């Protein structure tokens, strides 16, 4: 059995056998094509492929076969494979079981199957009526972000070594990806139904926004690298926990205790997921501190891309910017929070205490440790400047073009 590095060397030296000869100029037929092919069966038999790659060339072994091909980040893949047993533990201890043991959106919504369901809906709507429009705008923006879940699972499946190539792969990483997705799926469902029952929102405009966001996708700069992917999710899960938690606190202040319970439950999920992704990154640090610090520094130089940055309702070209401004004015998620999250990661991973680093990694270590104070100063300066500026009310199609 060949290891991955040996396989990469063999594949490189036998490249002509694994691509169609460039000299072929005949018209493509069922046995000839101008497209590059992974394996040319006229040159390499399935048996020869198995001898070279260490896995059979058939559909049943697709997942194993893909794992034997070359990676963009072979060392990073080897590192994350090394702590796969921990991921199994995370699946069992961090992710909830499905079915009756897991909470579901219906647990926090009126039961329309009972005779007095209208009383429950009336109570929800009366409480929602006391929630100001600006908080509803932030709630909608958070919900739209959650509803773009297909994009996020797609992203997880781009992290090399963490993917689920056949959809039911029985690896720790594939089980984590599917389990995480199943839990996240509840968030958008619950908030969507709450907003619908509240009667305060233009649900069609919201649905248009969701469709646009999923269509547009987003690029967090992970580059298929599991290191960068877990750094990003470590940051982003904490950010969503903060946002949902703060919306819930404000909802409670306005008498909407049912909405507070909803947001608290979602924030709890995000907190568990944050714990897992930060644990994954900590395991990488134990095995390859230089590698993770280099990626951490590079990722932070580009800043963290928020998942909903490309949202649009088809009318407001600055929808995300306007939504973010409202969230910042309410204190739901601010530039100060951004700096605090970086500080949390630096402290949690004890970045400043790492030793035995390469000269390049030491420079990144110093840069990363200085980032929180740098961002905090910039954030405070920006917030002070905005306090002096006149707030121009913006209309949002999500709430029937009312201005906030």
Measured CA to CA, the distance from residue 404 to residue 386 in angstroms comes to: 16
Q: Which of 164, 173, 180, 187 is catalytic?
A: 187
Residue 344 a catalytic site member: no
Is 237 labeled as ligand-binding? yes
Does 274 carry a binding-site annotation? no
Query: Can you spell out the DSSP letters for 372-396?
Result: HHHHHHHHHHHHHHHHHSPP---EE
Q: Within 13 A of 198's CA, how many CA atoms are on the CB side?
A: 25
Q: Is 146 a catalytic residue?
A: yes
| The one catalytic residue among 40, 103, 151, 325 | 103
Any catalytic annotation for residue 103? yes
Enumerate long-range contacts of 319-322, CB under 8 Å, 24 or more apart.
319/209, 319/396, 320/141, 322/394, 322/396
Measure the CA–CA gap between 162 and 81, rounded to whole angstroms: 9
Q: Does residue 184 carry a catalytic annotation?
A: yes
Q: Residues with Cβ < 8 Å from 183, sequence gap 6 or more?
A: 95, 96, 102, 269, 273
| Cα separation, 341 vs 329, whole angstroms | 19
User: 3-class DSSP state for residue 230?
Assistant: helix
Which one of the listed residues 76, 134, 145, 146 is annotated catalytic?
A: 146
Three-state SS for 339?
helix
Signed CA dihedral, 17, 18, 23, 29: sign only: positive
Q: Could you give the CA distance from residue 230 to residue 344 in angstroms, rounded to a whole number?
A: 15
Annotated catalytic residue: which of 225, 237, 283, 316? 237
Distance in angstroms (rounded) separating the CA atoms of residues 226 and 283: 12
Alpha-carbon distance of 193 to 208, in angstroms, equals 16
Out of 184, 202, 288, 364, pick the active-site residue: 184
User: Which one of the listed residues 145, 169, 209, 240 is annotated catalytic?
Assistant: 240
Residue whose C-alpha is closest to residue 43's, from 68, 14, 10, 1: 14
Question: How many Å apart are CA 38 and CA 47, to the nearest integer?
Answer: 15
Q: How far apart are CA 19 and CA 306, in angstroms?
A: 40
Distance of CA 237 to CAs 176, 256, 269, Å? 15, 25, 9
**273 given a catalytic annotation:** yes
In the annotation, is 254 catalytic? no
Is 240 in the active site? Answer: yes
42's enclosing H/E stretch is none
Whether residue 273 is annotated as binding a ligand: the answer is yes
List the binding residues for Fe cation: 146, 184, 187, 237, 270, 273
**Active centre residues (catalytic):** 103, 146, 184, 187, 237, 240, 269-270, 273
Give the residue numbers of the binding site: 146, 184, 187, 237, 270, 273
């Amino acid at each position: 059995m060949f290891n991955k590095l040996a396989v990469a060397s063999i594949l490189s030296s036998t490249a002509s056998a694994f691509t169609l000869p460039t000299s072929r100029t005949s018209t493509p037929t069922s046995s000839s094509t101008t497209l590059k092919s992974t394996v040319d069966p006229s040159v390499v038999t399935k048996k020869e492929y198995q001898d070279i790659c260490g896995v059979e060339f058939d559909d049943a072994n697709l997942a194993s076969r893909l794992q034997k091909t070359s990676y963009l980040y072979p060392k990073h893949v080897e590192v994350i494979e090394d702590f796969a047993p921990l991921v199994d533990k995370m699946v069992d201890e961090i992710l909830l079981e499905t079915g009756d043991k897991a909470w579901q959106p219906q647990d926090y919504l009126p039961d329309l199957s009972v005779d007095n369901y209208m009383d429950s809906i009336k109570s929800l709507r009366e409480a929602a009526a006391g929630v100001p429009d600006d908080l509803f705008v932030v709630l909608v923006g958070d919900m739209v972000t959650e509803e773009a879940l297909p994009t996020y699972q797609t992203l997880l499946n781009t992290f090399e070594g963490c993917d689920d190539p056949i959809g039911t792969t029985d690896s720790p990483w594939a089980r984590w990806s599917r389990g995480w997705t199943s839990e996240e799926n509840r968030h958008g469902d619950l908030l969507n139904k709450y907003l619908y029952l509240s009667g305060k929102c233009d649900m069609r405009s919201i649905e248009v926004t969701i469709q646009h966001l999923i269509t547009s996708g987003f690029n967090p700069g992970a580059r298929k690298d599991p290191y960068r992917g877990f750094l990003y999710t470590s940051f982003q899960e904490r950010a969503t926990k903060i946002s949902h938690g703060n919306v819930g606190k404000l909802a409670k202040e306005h008498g909407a205790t049912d909405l507070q319970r909803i947001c608290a439950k979602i924030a709890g999920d995000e907190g568990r997921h944050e714990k897992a992704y930060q644990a994954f990154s900590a395991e990488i640090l134990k095995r390859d501190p230089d590698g993770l610090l280099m990626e951490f520094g590079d990722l932070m130089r580009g800043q963290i891309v928020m998942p909903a940055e490309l949202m649009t309702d088809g009318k407001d070209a600055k929808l995300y910017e306007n939504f973010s401004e409202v969230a910042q004015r309410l204190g739901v998620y601010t530039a100060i929070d951004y700096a605090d999250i970086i500080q949390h990661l630096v402290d949690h991973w004890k970045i400043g205490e790492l030793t035995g680093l390469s000269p390049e990694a030491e420079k990144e270590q110093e840069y990363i440790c200085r980032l929180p104070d740098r961002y905090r100063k910039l954030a405070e300066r920006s917030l002070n400047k905005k306090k002096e500026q006149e707030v121009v009310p913006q209309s949002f199609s999500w709430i029937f073009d009312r201005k906030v």
